[in-house]
Amino acid sequence: MRLFVIAGEPSGDLLGGALLAGLRELCATPPRLEGVGGPAMASEGLASRFPMQELSIMGLAEVLPRAPGLLRRIRETADAVVAAAPDALITIDSPDFCLRVARRARRQLPGLRVIHYVAPSVWAWRPGRAAKMARVVDHVLALLPFEPPYMQAAGMTCDFVGHPVAGERQATPAEVAALRAEFGIANGQPLMVLLPGSRRGEIARIGPAFADVTRRLRAARPDLAVLLPAAGAVAEALPALFPPDVAGWPRLLDPRGRPAPEAEARKRAAFAAADVALAASGTVSLELAAAGAPMVIAYKASPLTEWMIRRLVRVDTATLVNLVTGTRAVPEFFFGDFTPELIAPAVGALLDDPGAAEAQRAIGQQAMDLLGRGGEPPGLRAARSVLGAIGRQ
C-alpha cells in the first residue's frame, strides 16, 4: 500500500504521526509513505519533501509575501502525488494548501482516492465549504462526534475517530503537588491559570483586559496565586502587561530550555492544579476540561473579524466543551461582553462557589467521554477508517 500524506501545521503533524503509527500497527506490511510533515510523522517513517514550516503561516500579511513560494509548493506537491500514484492521498487540516494540492492532482488522476483528516467547521460558519470540499474529497476523519452528518449530507463518507485531547495523559497528584511546591503555592491556596492566547496579535488585544481582571480578582482575594503558561515570542511580550516587579503578578510557566514532553507535562500539571482558568477561545478549552479545570472563556478579535463573525457564524457558543455537550456550562465573553467588569465576576463565581466549579468539571468530563475517552486511541481509529475507505480492511 502506498500513501501520500500531507500536514501543514504542528497540530496536523501530531495527528498524522498517530495515524501512521496506527497504520503500522494494523498493517502486516507497513505502507510506503511520501508527503510533507514534521517530526511526529518523520518518526513514523515519512521523509518530508520540504520543511513543513514553510506552510505554517497565518494571516493575510504573512501569506501575501510568500504567496509565490506557496503556489510553487502546491504545484510541486501535486506533481509528486501524480508521480507516486498512491492508493490514497491523505490531507491533514491546512485546507488552503491541502485541498489545492488534491484538486490539481485529481485533474491528472481522476480516480485518486482523497481522505481529509479534520472536518471543516461547517456547523459553525460557511456551510457551503462542505459541498466544495466534496468535489475533491471522498472520505473525512472527524474529531467531533456531531460532524459526520454534515459531511455525509455533502456527499462524502465520514467517520468520527475521536479527539486527541481525550486520550492525552493527565497530570498525577504528585506532579500537581510538585508544581505547586515549585512556585510556592500552598495546599488550599486558590490558583488561577491565565491563558491570553498564543500569538502576539492576540496578546495585544486580549492581554490588557486579562491583566485588569487579574487586578480585580486579587484586590478581593489577596491570596490568589496566578500562573501564566507561555512560550517563545508570547512570553517575551508579557512583561509589558505583567511587570515582574509588581507583587502578586502572574508567575510565568515558561517551557524554554526544557524538552517538549517535560514542558507539556508541566503545562498539564498547571491545568490540573488550577481552581479556575481564564482563557482565550480555542482548543485549550478541551485541554482544561480534560484536566478538570473550571474555566471562563473570553476573546476579542479584530474589528473586521468580529464583523465577519457576526454575519457568518450560525452557533451561539464558540467553546468546544459547550458544543460537544450541548450545554452552555462554560461562561463566554465575546464582542461587547469582552470587558473586565463582566469577566471578573464570572471568574470569581467559580472561585467562590465550589458547587458551580464542580458542576462545570462534571460537564468537562462528559465532553471527554463524548470525544472518545476510554475507547481506542484516535490514531488507531483513524487508521481503521483509512483502511476501510480504501478497501484494505
Q: What is the reported pTM?
A: 0.88
User: Where residue 201 falls among pLDDT bands split at 50, 70, 90?
Assistant: confident
- For 173, counting Cβ atoms within 10 Å of its Cβ (0-12 exposed, 13-18 middle, 19+ buried), the class is exposed
Least confident of 64-68, 128-132, 215-219: 64-68
Question: What pLDDT does residue 106 have?
Answer: 95
Q: Is the pLDDT of residue 234 over 80?
A: no
List the domain boundaries for the chain.
Answer: 2-162+374-389, 173-370
For the domain spanning 173-370, the CATH number is 3.40.50.2000
Question: What pLDDT does residue 248 have?
Answer: 64
Can you tell me the distance from the alpha carbon of 393 to that of 389, in angstroms, rounded to the nearest whole number?
9
Same topology for domains 2-162+374-389 and 173-370, yes or no?
A: yes
Can you tell me the distance from the alpha carbon of 133 to that of 124, in angstroms, rounded to the nearest whole number?
16
Average pLDDT over residues 344-368: 97
Angstrom distances, CA of residue 386 to CA of 181, 258, 297, 379, 393? 46, 35, 35, 10, 9
Write out pLDDT tens, residues 14-49: 999 999 999 999 999 999 999 999 999 999 999 999
User: Where residue 70 falls among pLDDT bands split at 50, 70, 90?
Assistant: confident
- For 251, counting Cβ atoms within 10 Å of its Cβ (0-12 exposed, 13-18 middle, 19+ buried), the class is middle
Q: Is the pLDDT of residue 57 over 60?
A: no
CATH class of 2-162+374-389: alpha beta
User: Where residue 124 falls among pLDDT bands split at 50, 70, 90?
Assistant: confident
Question: What pLDDT does residue 63 have?
Answer: 52
Higher-scoring residue by pLDDT: 17, 56: 17
User: Where residue 361 falls among pLDDT bands split at 50, 70, 90?
Assistant: very high
183, 156 contact by CB (below 8 A): no
Can you tell me the distance from the alpha carbon of 378 to that of 372, in angstroms, rounded to the nearest whole number?
8
Rg (CA), the chain: 22
Which helix or strand (DSSP H or E) is residue 89 part of? Answer: strand 88-92
Q: Is the pLDDT of residue 256 over 80?
A: no
